[in-house]
Amino acid sequence: MKTHRLFFTLLAALFTSVELFGQTQEIRLFSHRGGRMENDENTLKAFKASYDAGYRGFETDIRMTKDGELVITHDSSLERTTNGKGLVEDHTKTEIMQLQTKQGNKMMFLDELLVFLQDKKGLYVEFEMKTSPASLYPEDRLKEYCDKLYKKVMEKRPSDALYVFTSSDYRALRYLQSHYPGVDLLLITSKPCNAETIALCKTVGINRLGATMNGTSRESVQRAHKEGIIVSLWPGKSVEDFMLGAYLGCDYMCTDIPIQLKKWIAAKASWINVKY
């Protein structure tokens, strides 16, 4: 009951701030893993469904196979999403190609996603560097991974696209930062946007922060903005999550329900300036 009361309180606050959200705040909404609660996550089918629904913002995850191929998958373990067993990093590309997701789709490699995206206009894409646990990506392997990822992604990037490399592993971010000046980076944290995480971004020279909504305040987001930091909030499992993120004043937000949420916004909150 307390959760519902809080939500309706925030909702009321939003509807009394139509001018603020409609005119000065734009939220870039992007499809998390292609919409993992609506479609088979990180598959071409999922990204196509979000694109066909009008999304041009996406997030995905990349790991590297035993023989150095970049594959689109969140977990190091194969068990949750596929009919395989063991670690992605212990399998070759050929072995991964034999697997299917539990919904019957094939696993996708980075090259396939980049081909799908390369002729699209107005893209915002987050490429999350899944380089943990660190034992699977020691220094030499980490360098190989980062170089391959950056070069492949930027080679196929449409001229008007914003491609951002994200991670909670600062080793990967630091490598790109030092070897590819001007690269767009986002630091992911399981902590809220607060004084600590804002200071961390400032210290490491990264101006994009991906923080959890839990514990984030409007004041902290405003402080981040004053410090020149762009704030992206997660999770995005529900309409309520979206409304909370909008109330907090974030710049970017992921969603696991892109199709449902887009329909809801059109019907119930069209005055919020959302870019898909």
Confidence tier at 16 by pLDDT (50, 70, 90): very low
Q: Is 160 left (phi over 0), alpha (psi -120 to 50) or beta?
A: alpha
Which whole-number Å values give the CA distances from 266 to 35, 38, 170, 252, in the listed order?
Answer: 18, 18, 38, 18
88 in any annotated domain: no
User: What is the model's pLDDT at position 25?
Assistant: 81
Residue 195 vs residues 8, 190, 202, 203, 215: alpha-carbon distances, Å: 28, 14, 11, 12, 12
Assess if residue 31 is contained within a domain. Answer: yes
Beta partners for residue 234, in sequence order: 212
Local confidence band at 217 (pLDDT 50, 70, 90 cut-offs): very high
Write down the pLDDT at residue 188: 98
Mean pLDDT over each residue of the chain, to the nearest integer: 94
- Backbone torsions φ then ψ of 89, nearest 5 degrees: -65, -15
Asked if residue 245 is part of any domain, the answer here is yes
Q: What domain count does the chain have?
A: 1
pLDDT, position 84:
97
| Range name among 7-16, 64-73, 185-194, 253-262 with the lowest pLDDT average | 7-16
Q: Confirm whether 253 is domain-assigned.
A: yes
- pLDDT of 22 higher than 70: no
- Does the pLDDT at position 132 exceed 90? yes
Question: What is the C-alpha separation between 169 and 97, in angstroms, rounded?
Answer: 27
Contact 257, 240 (CB under 8 A): no
Q: For residue 162, what are the domain limits?
A: 19-62+118-275
In a domain, 172, yes or no: yes
CATH assignment at residue 57 = 3.20.20.190
Average pLDDT over residues 129-150: 97
Q: What confidence category does residue 109 fall into, taking pLDDT thresholds of 50, 70 and 90?
A: very high
Average pLDDT over residues 154-165: 98
Per-residue model confidence as pLDDT tens digits over 45-97: 999 999 999 999 999 999 999 999 999 999 999 999 999 999 999 999 999 99
Q: What is the pLDDT of residue 214?
A: 96
Residue 215 belongs to some domain of the structure? yes
| Nearest in space to 197 (alpha carbons), one of 166, 236, 168, 177 | 168
Distance CA 195, CA 168 (A): 18
Q: What is the spatial distance between Cα 172 and Cα 149, in angstroms, rounded to a whole number?
A: 11
pLDDT at 10: 55
Residue 107 lies in a domain: no
| pLDDT tops 60 at residue 260 | yes
Domain assignment present for residue 103? The answer is: no
Query: Can you say whether residue 224 is alpha, beta or left, with left for phi > 0 and alpha for psi between -120 and 50 degrees?
Result: alpha
Confidence of residue 235 (pLDDT cuts 50, 70, 90): very high
